[in-house]
Each structure stands twice: as structure tokens, then as C-alpha cells.
Amino acid sequence: MDPMLILWMVLAAFGATILYTAIGVAPGTDETAVLAPVTLALVLAGVPLPVVLAFFMGAIVAKKLTDSIPVAVAGIPGGVMSAPMVEHALVLKSHGRAGTSIQKMASGSVIGTLVAVPASLALAYALTPLADLVADYADIVFLAGAVVLALLSRERWISLAAIVPLAVLIQGLRGLYEVTGVVEADASVFVSLFLGITIGPLIYSLFELTVRPRRESMRRRDPARIDLREAARVKGFASPFRILDRKEQASAATGAVLGTLTFFLTPVGTTTLIGEALASRVKDRVARAARAISTMDGLANATYIAGVLVPLIALGVPVSPMAIGPANPLFNAPPVLTLDQNLHHLLSYGEIVAATVIGALVALLVTYQVAIRYAERISEFVFRHIPHEAFLGLFVSLVVLLAFLDAGLLGVAGVLVLAIFAGRLHRWGVNYGVMFMTLYAAPWLMEHLAIGA
């Protein structure tokens, strides 16, 4: 491999690590909304694909390492995946062990990454013979995926009921773009529709601010108060094998293996179910909380890494919630990447492995040491000086730009329409996985419904 390309991968991973270390600390930053638009922009800008993959792997490892920090210090999830850990982190915080909580979660995350990368590569290699079969029946796989994810979600009935209306809206927007001449008749609009779903919850919340009763109910009279306690300093080079005891290490590693094997299931559900099961036999409340958060963080990393690598290497089709959400631009970013010509087809196994290892290692070496030593200081700086709205504004502006490039002003309008609809569905409990699977299945589903009619 070209040494200059390796250097660019290292630099990209380092840049992603710095950016997403800060983003991970910011409370409530959704993984799909902050990862997908940036990755998509890099692909469309013509950045070499190994560099994009190294950036993405560095980003997800760094964000997963730091999005547990606001959970530990303030009881606020840094992202969707850290929500299952809130209860256990609050137990440790109530016993004055918030610093320990940060160290346990970050260490579990490191072990999860170290286990998940080789496990995912091995699983992907074993599943490679299925690639042609999955590609031949991709449309049916996506529809089946939408149905399965809907049935596995908490709000299963609204999730099932939403599939056809969402498909109708998606295909209706595509038809509108063709009729008005915004896009060519044989062109397939994807980017703006994907982004519309991605920022749906955010756009819906912004539109709610125009409704007076909702606006008044969300108004804060006093500033939020968050108590930060300085944790005990770690001397020397921080190691997860010194911070976690052997049972916690084994639990985190076991969770990572199980998370890798269940890459096709919803990450939040997998993290909650397996994490609680592995920690349930510990009798002491504080020890159980420590075991749970270290295991869940390892699990979360594993589900994310396996959810990207297994479909990317073995299948070339985004059949997991992670692949079809935050990692979707690695599979489908027209006109640069399509389902028939993406990283699966354009990069060798060795290039994917190299980019993955570089991205993960850079993020681990930098973010873990920073998180262990300076978690409280970083949290205080972000809480005090970086408004949450600054991050959200950055990503919304990027979404608007990409939608405009995809289908002009009508594309921006279409993003708003789809975002409001998707945001309402998300508020009702329809998860991203169901909506993204429906986005892929919509052409096939509408075609066969029309034939049936």
C-alpha cells in the first residue's frame, strides 16, 4: 500500500478522533445525524475511499468512547447508544464514583473494540459466500429487514403500519422530481431522501417550536445545574486491563463477541438485553452497576463495528441497522457509490482491514487516554462553552447543501417534507432501521403494489 495513502488515513483518523471526541461529550448527539452527513460529504468530495473508511472507523470508536462521559458526570446520554447505561451510571454517581464510572465505561469500550475488530473480520470472511445470494434478492431482503426490525421494536404495530405510507411518500417525492425535470427520468434520487430521514427528529423538534403550547412547555426558566466531581488521577499509561478486574474484562469480551454475532439486530436492544443478562448475577448493587456499564460499552462498540464491517466485507449490501444508518454512505452515495459499486467492490480485503485497524487504533490511543484523564474538564468545557445548537446547526447546514446538490431547491423542500414525516414517526417509536430499510425497499414495494392493484 502507498505510504502516502497510509499517512492520509492516519491523519483522517486523527481528525475524526478530535472532532468526534468533542461531539461524543455533547449530550443528545444522535449517531446517524452526526456521522452520516460528514461521511457522505467526504465520499461525494472524492476523498480516497480507504481514507474515508479510516475516518469513519476513527469517528465511531472515538464517539463511542466519549458519549458515556455525560452519562457518568451528569446522568445525560451522550447519544442513543449510551441511554441503556444511565441507570447504572447514576447508581455509581450516587455512591460518589462518577470517575470510576467513566474509567469502567471507557475501558469496556476499548476491550469491545479490540475483540470486535478481529471477530468481525473473521465473521465477514465466513459469510462472504452469501454475497451473490443476498445481492440477487436485495429488495426482498430490505423489505424483510424492515418488517423484522419493526417486529423487534417496542412500538411494533406503528412501525409495521408506517412501512407502506413511508414508501408511498418516498416514491411520490421521486416521481415529483422527475415530473418537474429536477432530475433525469432514469436518475435515482437517494441522497436527499436519506438525509431527510436522518435529520427527521431534529427538524420535527424545530417545527414544534412554532406551536405556542409546545414552545411554552419546553421553555426553561432557570439554567440547568450539573455537578461535576474531579475523579482520581490515573498515573502512567492508562490500561483497561488495570482498571477492570478479570470478571469485568471477561464480561466485556463476551458481550463484544455476542454483539458481533448479532450485528443484524438493533444495537440499542442488543446492548440492553445482553448487557443486563451478563451483569444480572452480581448481587452487590455497586458491583453490578460497574459490571453492567463496562459490558454495555463493550457491547455497543462491537455492534457498531460488526454492523459496519460484516455487511461491508461479506455482502456489499447494508443489511444491519448500523450499515443502513450511520455507515450508509459507505454503501450508497450516488453518483460515486451505488449498491452495485461500493467499498465492497472497490477495495480489497487488505485495504479494508488496513483502514479499519488504523482508524480504530488512532482513536483508541488518543481518545482513551484523554477520556481517562480529562473527562470532567472536557465535559465542563463543552457544557459551558460549546452550545448543543452549534453542532446541530453544522450538520443541518451540511444536509441542506447536499440536498441542494442532489435535487436543487425542490430537493431541499422534499427533505423538509420527509423529515417532518420521519420525525413524527420517530417520536411515535419507529426506529431509524425500519425507515432506512423502507427507503431501500420502496421502489420494489410500490411496483408490486401497483401490479397487485
**Other beta carbons within 10 Å of 328:** 25
Per-residue model confidence as pLDDT tens digits over 8-19: 999 999 999 999
Asked whether residue 221 is assigned to any structural domain, the reply reads no
Asked whether residue 245 is assigned to any structural domain, the reply reads yes
Give the closest residue to 9 by CA, choosing from 58, 44, 46, 45: 58
The secondary structure of 134-154 as a DSSP string is HHHTHHHHHHHHHHHHHHHSS
**Other beta carbons within 10 Å of 308:** 27
Give the closest residue to 380 by CA, choosing from 232, 220, 227: 227
Q: Which is higher by pLDDT, 452 or 111?
A: 111
User: Confidence class of residue 102 from pLDDT cuts 50, 70 and 90?
Assistant: confident
In sequence order, the 6+-apart residues with CB closer than 8 A to the CB of 45 are: none
Per-residue model confidence as pLDDT tens digits over 209-226: 888 888 888 777 676 665
Distance between CA atoms of residues 85 and 276, nearest Å: 10
- Percentage of the chain exceeding pLDDT 90: 26
Q: 290: which 3 cell numbers?
A: 460497574
User: Confidence class of residue 405 from pLDDT cuts 50, 70 and 90?
Assistant: confident
Burial of 343 (0-12, 13-18, 19+ CB in 10 A): buried
pLDDT(276) > 70: yes
pLDDT score at 236: 62
pLDDT(231) > 80: no
Q: Do 127 and 315 touch, CB atoms closer than 8 A?
A: yes
Per-residue model confidence as pLDDT tens digits over 255-264: 999 989 888 8
Burial of 233 (0-12, 13-18, 19+ CB in 10 A): exposed
Distance between CA atoms of residues 194 and 439, nearest Å: 7
Asked whether residue 376 is assigned to any structural domain, the reply reads yes
**φ, ψ for residue 62 (rounded to 5)?**
-65, -45
The mean pLDDT value for 131-147 works out to 81
Please count the structural domains in the chain.
Answer: 1
User: Confidence class of residue 227 from pLDDT cuts 50, 70 and 90?
Assistant: low
pLDDT score at 161: 94
Residue corresponding to grid cell 488521577: 233
Kindly compute the dihedral angle of the four CA atoms of residues 201, 84, 257, 302, in this order, to the nearest 10 degrees: 40
Handedness of CA 445, 450, 452, 453 (dihedral sign): positive
pLDDT score at 309: 93
Q: Which of 81-95, 174-188, 360-374 has the highest mean pLDDT?
A: 360-374
Asked whether residue 422 is assigned to any structural domain, the reply reads yes
Give the domain range for residue 153. 3-215+238-452
Asked whether residue 296 is assigned to any structural domain, the reply reads yes
Q: 306: which 3 cell numbers?
A: 460488526
In the 8-state DSSP scheme, what is residue 209?
Answer: T
Whole-model pTM: value is 0.79
In sequence order, the 6+-apart residues with CB closer than 8 A to the CB of 117 are: 305, 309, 356, 357, 360
pLDDT score at 212: 86
Q: At what angle do helices 267-279 and 285-310 cross, to 10 degrees?
A: 140
Asked whether residue 186 is assigned to any structural domain, the reply reads yes
pLDDT(453) > 60: no
Handedness of CA 144, 148, 151, 153 (dihedral sign): negative
Give the closest residue to 60 by CA, choosing from 315, 244, 322: 322
Distance between CA atoms of residues 3 and 317, nearest Å: 30
| Angstrom distances, CA of residue 232 to CA of 238, 246, 291 | 13, 21, 20
Asked whether residue 231 is assigned to any structural domain, the reply reads no
Give the closest residue to 238 by CA, choosing from 99, 105, 371, 69: 371
Indicate the length of the chain as a whole number: 453
**Other beta carbons within 10 Å of 404:** 15
Asked whether residue 229 is assigned to any structural domain, the reply reads no
Q: Do 260 and 306 touch, CB atoms closer than 8 A?
A: yes
Q: Which is higher by pLDDT, 298 or 236?
A: 298
pLDDT score at 241: 85
The mean pLDDT value for 111-126 works out to 91
Give the closest residue to 335 by CA, choosing from 191, 442, 198, 197: 191
Residue corresponding to grid cell 453518483: 335
pLDDT score at 59: 93
